Amino acid sequence: MESIVVAALYQFKVVAEPANLQQALKELCKAQGILGTLIVANEGINGTVSGSREAIDVLHNFLLAQGFNQMEYKESFAPEHTFRKLKIKLKKEIVTLGVHVDPREHVGTYLQPKEWHEFIQDPNVIIVDTRNDYEYLTGTFEGAIDPQTKTFGEFPAYVKEHLSDAKDKKIAMFCTGGIRCEKSTSYLLQEGFKEVYHLKGGILNYLAEIPAKESLWKGECFVFDRRVGVAHGVDIGHTAMCFGCGHPLFDGDTNSPKYEEGVSCPHCYEQTTDAQKARFRMRQSQHVLKQMLKE
């Protein structure tokens, strides 16, 4: 039985005292047993958390009372917590683009999943995946361009180098839950692009609304929690993750001599020190012990 609610949410809204909101959220989530990550900034809130039905309702109602009444808010379900820890972060941006844009002032045209499904079948539309390279490799839409970015902060440079001649073209962008496209479409409009569109609610919304047999989505959607990947219906997929670095594991990765469960994989082995690997081994052994005690 899937008794844990996974809530993904964001809203761009002026937060006068973000540190106060951070503290209040920390206290509430700890009291309710909620795990996951929430990012608070002057420009709003963003994050994904997991908890009981009652706990998530308490959090949702608290945010509504704080004036977050236009949240992009989606729920899915899992048999257990999808996070190991609670993190309430205070940052300059709720999603880091590194260039000043304000989605409350101007943003691309929203397309609901069914509208998006029809729109991206137009051969004159340029479809751009705004996510990172490893997310693209886990799954994407047919015909989508991979900007090959390691972080969202690299996206403006990609636009200047590769899309500057497409300002009169129809640009359709998508991301996991929609928040990156709030900023990426705002940025393109700021740069003089004429027709900019994005998938309302992101890939998660598309997977929830469009049946698998009709879908233009290929693969799974990478998510930043223990589910790793989700499929149509936002059901838990089969993608595995290296819990040393958080990178998804692809064919052959687990057969590499550089792979050690919970410690390292071919994508991070050279980047971590022996001391870090030792710490990861300790964490993995504690995790295995907890799982054994549950059984």
Q: Which tokens go with 138?
A: 């886990």
Whole-angstrom distance, CA of residue 135 vs CA of residue 224: 10
Q: Give me the catalytic one of 29, 175, 242, 265.
A: 175
- Coil, strand, or helix at residue 196? strand
207-216 LR contacts (CB < 8 Å, sep 24+): 207/231, 207/232, 207/233, 207/234, 208/74, 208/76, 208/113, 208/233, 208/234, 209/112, 209/113, 209/114, 210/113, 210/114, 210/117, 214/117, 216/117, 216/120, 216/121, 216/141, 216/142
Rg of the chain over Cα atoms, rounded to whole angstroms, equals 20
Catalytic site residue 175? yes
Neighbours of 286 (CB within 10 A): 11
Q: Contact at 8 Å (CB) between 72 and 10?
A: yes
Neighbours of 101 (CB within 10 A): 22
Active site residues: 175
